[in-house]
Each structure stands twice: as C-alpha cells, then as structure tokens.
Amino acid sequence: MDFALSARAEDVCGRMWDFMREQVFPAEPVYEAWRAARGHDDHGTPPVLEELKVEARKRGLWNLFHHELAGLSNLEYASVAEITGWSPVIAPEVINCGAPDTGNMETLMLFGTPEQKERWLQPLLEGEIRSGFAMTEPDVASSDARNVQTSIVRDGDDYVVNGRKWWITGTADERCQIFIVMGKTDPEGAPHRQQSMVLVPRDAPGFEIVRHLPVFGYQDQHGHSELRFTDVRVPAANLLAGEGDGFMIAQARLGPGRIHHCMRAIGMAERALALMVERAKARVAFGRPLAEQGTVREAIALSRIEIDQARLLVLKTADLIDKYGAKGARTEIAAIKVAAPKVCLDVLDRAIQVHGGAGVSDDTPLAYFWAHARTLRIVDGPDAVHIRSVAREELDRERPYRG
C-alpha cells in the first residue's frame, strides 16, 4: 500500500489548509455569534456560510468528495476530509462536502434518472439546496433496515408514503428541499427486497416536521428532526432505481461516506490534541507546567499513537474501496466505523480533562466535538452492528495454521 498523495492531491490539501487558516477558523466566532444572537433554536443560515462558499469556489475547493467531480480517489479525498474535521460544523458544508448531501448526491449520480438528476442533483452540486436521508424510525431498530415500517404504496401513477422518521439530519434548515425516503413497497417479499427509496420534496402535502431533536442539549443549525408522512403522494417517477432496490441502494451509499465520517473524526481528534498540547504548555499546577506532569504526558503520547493507528486503518480502507469497491472492503468499513469515533472520543476526553472546567464549557470546541463524536457511534449503524459484522468475517476466515 502506498499512501503517498499525488501532486494533484498535495495541491488540494495545501489549498485546503490555506483556506482553513485564512477563512474558516476566523469565521468560527462569527458563525457562533450570529447563532447566539438569534438563539440556538433558530435554524436560519448564518450569512458567513454563503460568503465562505463563494470563496471556496474561487479557490477550486468544491465538490471534492467524488472522483468524477474533482479527480481525487477515495484515498486522496480522505486527507481532505481530515482537514475539514478540524472545523466540522463549517468546513465540510462550505466546500459542498457535508453529510448527508454527499451521500445523497452519490446516490442520485448512481441511481437517478436524467429527470431526477436535473431536478435535484444539479442544484445540490451547485450548493443551491440541501437534502435529507430519511431512513431511521422511532418505533423500530432501524440499524436493521428490514425493520423499517414506513409504507410506500403504488396508486396509479403515484406512490403514497405513510410513516414516521426521526434523526433526519438537515431538516431544520429550509434549504433542505428534497428527502430520500426509505420504506416498504412489498412487505411480503424476500427480506432484502421489501424496501424501496423514493424522492419526497419538502413541500409535498402531508409532509410534517414534528420537532427538532437536540444532541446532548445542542441544537445544530441544520437540525436533526422527527418527521411524519401522512398520505404523502409523489409521482411514480420519483422512485429511485426499481421497487425492492432500497436495501441495495442503502449499502451502495455507505462505503465512501464512512471514510468521510471517520477522517473528519480524526481531524477533530487532531485539533483536540493540539488544544491539549497548548493547554499543557501554558498551565501550571503544583509548581510545574502540566506538560511536565507524567499523567499529562501519557495522555498526549497515547493520543498521538491512537490517532495515527486509526488514520492508517481508514487510509487502508479507502485504498481497498478504490481498488475493489465497497464490497471488497466491507470488513474494514465496519472496523473503521468502530475505531475512528472511539479514538476521537478518547482523545477528546483527555483534552477535556487537561482543560478542566474550560473543557466542558463553550470556551473551546471540545464539548461540542465530544457530543458530535459520540453520535458517530450510532449514526450509519451502531457499534454493535459493525462489531457483529467484523466478528462474522473473522469467524469465517481461513487460517494458515491451526494448532
């Protein structure tokens, strides 16, 4: 495995770091001040985001997540995703590489009709609108897609959608104009052929936003919401791929997206470590800087070791996806989804400890990062599901020697 970046990727990463230092990091207090003045329950768009999007496009930092759009492999984009993880609220969105839009754009690129692409994919690629992915439901364990209860029923030239969804990221932002909704078109079919996906516009009659859900008390600008679909009628042409293809589509969109999530988590961990080091050098306790205390040095060293281990595993996974596709990396994709958030949380916890009371306040990004990283152990399937997958593969693995 050769993880050296191409000249193209080195250039993109260099320009990305310049953008972060010159524009994104200075924008963080502007973003927070705007939201604080409006109240964090307000989900309006801070103007600085649109300003940064204009600047990102000028710098050629736009739609970098897809090889057909930016010329970067999954392995190369992984390094860009790590950089954006240093400012995970702002950076991914302003280069049009934020979740769930990237996964939804890839889904439309893979499975959308020409009409669907023109109506929804093009505005997403231009950053004019945002999107949601509606799979998780409040009444069933949605980590097993076979449990999904939302119904999608054919009625003449339409499909009629009924059901409840929750934790649908992006909904609170009025720019979120289209949802990919997963439901059952054939409840009596084979377990993995019962599900389908259909495109539901935000303004469809019968679509209702029930509430916006906080994450450990935080209300994100884009929101994570509970939705209700009551006899929502959409044209049959809004179906993605074919009836019964929902499970297949769900699997297809997860591989690269998990690389992005995990590398952003590593970026968060790197920023936490940087803050820990800075605090340890500046703070004095018991007559010596914290950096001279054995326990603090151990926290710093373990953090470096664990971050580098996690990064190598994610890069290996990205390389496997590039070579063999998501199917050829399924065990590694499951493994990184467990490993990267755990490492991020461990590093954040140490950084919070070194900061003391400041670490659990809003004076640093550590508390919010922790809340964000903790959700990563649930989204796209909880740890237990991925551990189960890795164990199953390991139990079936042929050994070179037994005894």
Omega of the bond leading into 100 within 30 degrees of 0 (cis): yes
**Which of the four pLDDT bands, split at 50, 70 and 90, describes residue 271?**
very high
Neighbouring CB atoms inside 10 A of 68's CB total: 8
CA distance from start to end of the chain: 31
pLDDT digits (tens, 9 = 90+) for 195-215: 999 999 999 999 999 999 999
Neighbouring CB atoms inside 10 A of 388's CB total: 14
pLDDT digits (tens, 9 = 90+) for 275-323: 999 999 999 999 999 999 999 999 999 999 999 999 999 999 999 999 9
Distance CA 313, CA 75 (A): 11
pLDDT digits (tens, 9 = 90+) for 237-261: 999 999 999 999 988 887 889 999 9
pLDDT digits (tens, 9 = 90+) for 110-123: 999 999 999 999 99
**Which of the four pLDDT bands, split at 50, 70 and 90, describes residue 403?**
confident
**Which of the four pLDDT bands, split at 50, 70 and 90, describes residue 41?**
confident
**Which of the four pLDDT bands, split at 50, 70 and 90, describes residue 21?**
very high
Which pLDDT does position 3 carry in this prediction?
86
Task: Residue 259: name the closest of 77, 28, 114 by CA.
Answer: 77
pLDDT at 48 over 90: yes
What are the distances in angstroms from CA 235 to CA 100, 161, 239? 23, 11, 8
Distance CA 141, CA 114 (A): 34
Which pLDDT does position 268 carry in this prediction?
98
- Kindly state the average pLDDT of the residues 357-383: 95
- Kindly state the average pLDDT of the residues 9-22: 98
Which pLDDT does position 265 carry in this prediction?
98
Distance CA 341, CA 264 (A): 10
